[in-house]
Structure formats: C-alpha cells, structure tokens
Chains A and B, each alone.
Chain A
C-alpha cells in the first residue's frame, strides 16, 4: 500500500513564525502535492512538484513556498504565518504515468492553528 506520512496531525504556531510542514511518501512517486482544506471551499491546491527540485504554483500559492530536495520528501513552508493560514493541510503523491490518470494518495492531514 502507498504510504504518505505527514509529520504532525496537529500543530499550533504563533503569528509571524516560520512554519514547516513535512510530507514523506514511500512509493517512489514522481508527483507530490500540497492542498489546504477549508469548510465550504473544498480542497485547494497550493503547490505541486513533478520532480526533485521542480515545483509549480497551484491555485493559492501566496504566503507559501515549498522544497523538494529528495524524491520522497516534499515540504511546505509558511514564511511568516498568519491567522488566515489556520487550516487543514493535506499532502498527496501520485505516479506520473499517463497525464492525470493516476490517483493521488493522501496523508492523514495536519490541522494547523495560527494564534
């Protein structure tokens, strides 16, 4: 089974802090994704990566950056956390075989609260 592991289930940080959310997958997937999920807004893509050191902006990249130094690890960085970044963050990975044909596999999510 595919395993996508997010470093924390719950995280509380303060406004202005630099926050790191880590995601690791064990299935040698080329693609990795970061989403945030908010009530009424569904899942929104923040960034994704299709290869090591490669990244593409999603729908809501403002206030975030990402890092992918190794194939299995994809980090989401909140440069200066703000209260409007309080949300559920979900990491996913997928194979790159066939455009968009492969399912994305998700981690358990991180509930981040910014105080």
Chain B
C-alpha cells in the first residue's frame, strides 16, 4: 500500500535560517510521481512541485529546493533563508498505486513556523 510519512509534526525556526522538511514514502510502483503542497494559514492548498521517479536531480526554485533519493525513498524539501511568509503546513503526496488511479496519498503534514 502507498504510504507517506512526514515525521516532523511541527518545526520552528528563526527567520533567515535554513530548514529541511522530511518526506519518506512507500510504494510498490516502479515509476511514480511525488508532490509537495503548501497550506498557509488562510487554508488553501497550493501546489509547489511534481517530480517523477526517473529524475533524481535536485530541483531548485528560488529559495526552495527538493532532494529526491530513490535509494532511501525520500523526497525532502529545503527552504533557504526562511521568511515569515513561509509559515504554513507543508504536505508531501504520492499517487495511489494501480492503473487508472488519480487519487493522492498525503502525509499528515509538517507545520512550519518562522519566527521574526
């Protein structure tokens, strides 16, 4: 069965610190995609990134970077020089296994608080 584990329930950092959010997954699929979402206090989930299992290169987008390691089944998210606007709950997600599946399995989320 698909499983996504975000072991860090809550993290607090001081502004400008770097922070890494961990995501570990289990899947029986040989090819798959992984996703990260951000949920600010206002409530909407915002799609951040999609990566496929063929591509283990790190992805960088501004202050955000993602490290995908298939050997350890991890897809970690790093925010460099954190800002107060980064305060949110972050979710990692993995598609259900099997043909015709469009559902996502979400981790329980990591709440990040960036303190000014």
Contact = CB atoms under 8 A, between A and B. Distances in A.
Tell me, yes or no, whether A binds B. Answer: yes
Interface of A: 9, 31, 33, 40-43, 45, 48, 50, 58, 88, 90, 92, 94, 96, 99-109, 111
B50 A90 contact: no
Contacts of A92: 45
Interface residues of B, number: 26
Given A42-B107, A42-B108, A103 B50 contact: yes
Contact of A99 (B43, B45, B102): B102
B43 A109 contact: yes
Given A41-B108, A90-B45, A48 B102 contact: yes
B100 interface: yes
Contacts of B104: 100, 104
**Most B C-beta atoms less than 10 A away, residue of A101, A102, A105, A108:** A101
